[in-house]
Structure 1
Amino acid sequence: MKLLTHNFVSSRFLKDVKGGYPLKLSAQKIETKDVEFNEEFIKNIIPKCDFSALRSACESINEAANLPQTLPENWIENEELLKELHRLLFCIDIIEGELQCPDTARIFPIKQGIPNLLVEDEQK
């Protein structure tokens, strides 16, 4: 599971969950893959991302060292930051781990890079 995917996933579909975002990430196995840098794509996707949730996910896997606390106003002109955001969002792959709902503490496993968010009908 890419960190980009994590940034858009929530547990709002669960019964009695109002927020469900961001899911707390815990990773047991991480792989890093080379993905070609696409400056225009990263510039278009960053405004759609929740930077605070991205930072929190990066902290949970010890990858936040080169990430500012908040997204600077001039981020779109900062090539070094754009490349770091690309690396974080597209090159890091969570292979094994868990996502935890912040409201209910329900655990969703990540197996072979795929988050399992399926629930029983009575939990919806």
Structure 2
Amino acid sequence: MSSRGASLLVLFAVLCSWPGEAGPSVSEASSDSKASLLRLRGGMKLFTHNLLASPVPGLTKQQRYPLALEVERAEIRPSKVDQDTIISLLERLNWKVFLDALQAVGGEESIGLERQFPQDMAEVISSACNDGDVHMFRALHRALFETEVMEGQLVCPATQRRFRIQEGVPNFLAADVQGTKQEALSPRSEGEEA
């Protein structure tokens, strides 16, 4: 396997989520359900949202990022905390975009955190990395990797085009393109011109 292929597999593993069940609004997923063992994909994690940009062609990087997040339903899916992973990913994180996404989910309280994150990422890094604050690691892990958006929308900042999130998967295929493909695939009735 090429190094690019291996990198894609690692990225897929990071972005993928593991077993869980659907639930109302922000809910705790059941870990003992048989159905949860069969389900391999979960929702869009807040860390994943932090990396996404609008696919609309012709836009600059600044016009494509960040995507606004509108959440209809989110779930909490507990997983093992890995401090090394969190430390390595903090440098890639846009802190303001993360805080905005957290508010879209309902804030720290809605995902079961007792205190709010500081507005300055340097405080978080200092607390988590230098002081070894275990509570900060757990809070970051819960917000970034256990909070999953199951239903909602991503909104392009430049065009306001909306991209639906269904069953945890963002659909970046533009609606006008979807309509064209659907029309091409649908059977024509008699007498209808091609």
Q: Same fold judged by TM-score > 0.5?
A: yes
In the TM superposition, residue 23 of structure 1 has moved relative to its aligned partner by 0.5
Aligned to 1:42: 86
Inter-partner Cα distance in structure 2 for 1:86 and 1:17: 32
For 2:118, the equivalent position in structure 1 comes to 68
C-alpha distance in 2 between matches for 1:60 and 1:51: 14
**What is the distance in 1 between the residues matched to 2:157 and 2:134?**
33
Distance in 1 (alpha carbons) for counterparts of 2:88 and 2:70 = 27
Contact 1:66 1:84 in 2 (8 A): no
Q: How many residue pairs end up in the alignment? A: 119
Residue 93 (structure 1) aligns with = 148
RMSD over aligned Cα, in angstroms? 1.4
Gaps of 5+ in 1: none
Output the TM-score relative to the length of structure 2.
0.58
Deviation at 1:63, TM superposition (A): 2.1
Which structure has more RCO (C-alpha within 8 Å, separation ≥ 6)? 1
SS, match of residue 91 in structure 2: helix
User: In structure 2, how many angstroms separate the alpha carbons of the residues matched to 1:55 and 1:67?
Assistant: 8
Report matched runs for 1:45-124 at 5 Å: 45-64=89-108, 66-71=116-121, 72=123, 74-75=126-127, 76-77=129-130, 78-119=133-174, 120=177
Q: Which of the two has greater strand per residue?
A: 1
- Find the counterpart in structure 1 of residue 13 from structure 2: none
Shift, 1:104, TM fit: 0.6
Deviations 1:23-68 (A, max 9, x none): 1001111110111100111111111111111011111122246211
TM-score normalised by structure 1 residue count: 0.88
Cα distance, 1:84 vs. partner?
1.0
Amino acid corresponding to residue 134 of structure 2 in structure 1: E
Secondary structure (helix, strand or coil) at the match of 1:48 reads coil
Would the aligned equivalents of 1:99 and 1:107 in 2 still touch at CA under 8 Å?
yes
Task: Compute the displacement of 1:100 (Å).
Answer: 0.3
